[in-house]
Every structure is written in C-alpha cells, then in structure tokens.
Amino acid sequence: MININYRDPRPVYEQVVDGFKKLIITGIIKKDEKMPSVRELASQYAINPNTIQRAYRDLETQGYIYSVPGKGSFAVDVKEVSEKHLSEIYERLDAILSDFDVAGESRKNVANYVLNEGKIESV
C-alpha cells in the first residue's frame, strides 16, 4: 500500500503521510473509504503506533482524512484534495519564483528551463 524506506532521511511518519496523500490524490483510496487502523498499520510495517497516529493527525490537519469517533478515519473527496494539493504546489512555486527574483534570474529564463525539461538555455 505505502512504501517505507528506512534509508530515507525523512522521518517515517512523513513517509506515511506522503504515501497516503498520493493514494488519496490518485483516487486509489476513494472518498469515504475507511483508512487502515493505526494498530493494523503499526503491525504491518513494524512501526510504533504513535508514529502512525501522528501521521493520521497530520493527514487530518491537512484535510486529507477525517475521523469519526469509534469508527475510524476516512478519506475525503479526491477532487477537494486535488484542488487543495494544487493550491499548495502553487504556493511553493510562488516562493521559488521569489527566490529566482532575488537571485536576479529572469522569469523568462525560468520558464524556458521548465519548458526545455531542465536544460538551461539563456535567452
């Protein structure tokens, strides 16, 4: 379901969060589908249940899942998540473009870099 790489420098809970985000955004986990229980995931991946609980808390805070007391956690509508995810990406892009502005790089050069799939061609 999700991949945990113990050589990845990111904490395990972040890998769990990213794995579930990807599954929800791509529609593999459908709207209102029940998420695996904390105990089930902790056992399956040999991870401390607190790590899974933290990942679920982050997913809920970020709007990817919701909890129903006594029932578990469930995925939200992929369309809503996709729009939120794109919004987050655009916010990061704005920050990166601001960094290019500070570095004196023209937006035209940045756009050409993107359009040329990473090949630098000065304009």
Q: Please write the tens of the pLDDT for every residue from 49-108.
A: 999 999 999 999 988 999 999 999 999 987 777 777 788 889 999 999 999 999 999 988
State the pLDDT at residue 121.
61
100, 113 Cβ separation under 8 angstroms = no
User: For 26-71, where are the alpha helices, taking DSSP H only?
Assistant: 38-45, 49-61
Q: What are the tokens at 119?
A: 């090949």
State the pLDDT at residue 67.
95
User: For 1-123, where are the alpha helices, taking DSSP H only?
Assistant: 12-25, 38-45, 49-61, 78-103, 107-115
Whole-model pTM over 0.75: no
* Residue 104 per-residue DSSP state: T
State the pLDDT at residue 120.
67
